[in-house]
Structure 1
Amino acid sequence: MLLTISDMLDEKGLLETHALIETLRWRDGAETAGSTAKHVKHNLQADLSSRTGVKLCKQLLVTISAHPVIRAAGQPRRFSEPVVSKTVEGGAYGLHIDNAHMGTGDSRIRTDLSYTLFLSDPQSYAGGELVIERAGETLSVKPDAGSLVLYPSSSLHRVAEVTRGARLAVVGWIESTIPDAGEREMVFDLENLRASLSPQLAPQSAERLILDKVIANLIRKFSAA
């Protein structure tokens, strides 16, 4: 399942995010890559250890974790700390697979879903598409600033070379309460059905109660211990 959420950050949210990012320091992105990915990772990564960086992380996590589509599609248990990346002219991130686990100690999570939150106007840079390999097809996405792309962490993916301008993005990972992608998609389909039928069904109608029951029991059945 690949989803593009177009309203993750509105204009005000984008302006606030950019204002915070402008004060951050940058380092070589390869420093934080795995043993294989570091050979194909050619970008910059923001140092988020400052007070401003901590504030930015908190704001991003609150916004992303509260979005109804993230909650319905991801059934999140935990979120990683977000990563802010900048890819300038000549930079790219070659084909790779995300690590199965991210973080250390209590913050260590299993990566079921990955996301990229695009922060740059697509007209301000050339290249920089997020390219995701799936069985029998290759998907290339470059949405508007403020849009978030959610996709399975199990997918091979890359960031195409930026040939003009600079690409700013936030990336992160979600550990789901439902590890199996097929079961997670089944619940998401039912959540969408419930949302579309809500205007037509009274909260205590038999149909709505049965649908609520099925969704709750499937989540209970599919959830990891």
Structure 2
Amino acid sequence: MFREIEILDAAAVAELQRIAASAPFVDGRISNPHNNAKQNLQLHDAAAGKRSADIVLKALTASEDFRNFTFPASVAPPLLTRYTPGMRYGAHADAAYLQLANGVLRSDISCTVFLSDPATYEGGALRITLGTRDMHFRCAPGTAIVYPSDTLHEVEPVTKGERLVAITFIQSRIKDIFQRQLLYELNEIAALEGLGMSQENFSRLQLVQQKLYRHWGEKP
């Protein structure tokens, strides 16, 4: 269960690129010194971090597609990360719980927002393993890839240029991925076919949707 979502417009992408160009980055292992798979750089400036996080977070929460797909209860502050030639992030699953300034977030869903034009760098694909299938993503600037945090994924080595992305993690109101997918599909059917249904049947479908949301949902 993954989705590509257009999140940022060109102006927002350009502003994030300007922030990254003028702010300091440090070894990404500062947040996890024992993670030998992690070879990247991350933004290390409080003011720049807040500005960039606010831009991405505002765009995510404004996206109806993002909200409908993730059912977000909490979203971690997005972080700018950079990969230069030779850097990679080996195969891993994201931590189940993240300690944030305002409490603990359970990472149900991971999100990568691409900020570099894929024509300006080589390698650096986000590789996600779902079952027996590997998927590779090198997306246009402003595009987000949203996928389950417990899937095995990696950033393949960058061989030329620079890969700039923002990453974040989402705690969903629907913890179970099977339930989340079913509710998402029901909501999509209601949105696409609702106007063609009789009012009685559409009301019954809406009742099922809201009953399942109440039954499965948590953390309003």
Q: TM-score, normalised by structure 1?
A: 0.91
Describe how 1:1-225 pairs up with structure 2 within 5 A. 1-5=1-5, 7-33=6-32, 35=34, 38-50=35-47, 52-104=48-100, 106-200=102-196, 205-224=199-218
Shift of 1:211: 2.2
**Cα distance in structure 1, aligned partners of 2:53 and 2:29:** 20
**Cα distance in structure 2, aligned partners of 1:108 and 1:120:** 30
**Cα distance in structure 2, aligned partners of 1:55 and 1:96:** 28
More divergent stretch after superposition (215-224 vs 115-124): 215-224
Deviations 1:171-190 (A, max 9, x none): 11000111100000001101
Contact 1:122–1:142, Cα closer than 8 Å, also in 2? yes
Contact 2:12–2:55, Cα closer than 8 Å, also in 1? no
Deviations 1:125-167 (A, max 9, x none): 0000001112111111111111100000000110000000000
Contact 2:76–2:100, Cα closer than 8 Å, also in 1? no
Give the 3-state SS of the residue equivalent to 2:211 in structure 1.
helix
Structure 1 residue ranges (4+ consecutive) displaced by more than 6 angstroms after TM superposition: none
Contact 2:129–2:153, Cα closer than 8 Å, also in 1? yes
Classify 1:165/1:75 alpha carbon distance in 2 versus 1 (closer, same or farther; 3 Å): same
Give the 3-state SS of the residue equivalent to 1:39 in structure 2.
coil
Length, aligned pairs only? 219
Deviations 1:88-127 (A, max 9, x none): 0111001111111112463310000000000011111000
Q: TM-score, normalised by structure 2?
A: 0.93
**Cα distance in structure 2, aligned partners of 1:20 and 1:216:** 42
Shift of 1:201: 5.6
Q: Which amino acid aligns with 2:30?
A: E
Structure 2 residues without counterparts, runs of 5 or longer: none
**Cα distance in structure 2, aligned partners of 1:48 and 1:208:** 51
**Cα distance in structure 2, aligned partners of 1:136 and 1:112:** 21
Structure 1 residues without counterparts, runs of 5 or longer: none
More divergent stretch after superposition (23-32 vs 175-184): 23-32
Contact 2:118–2:139, Cα closer than 8 Å, also in 1? yes
Q: Which amino acid aligns with 1:216?
A: Q
More divergent stretch after superposition (193-202 vs 183-192): 193-202
Q: Which amino acid aligns with 2:216?
A: F
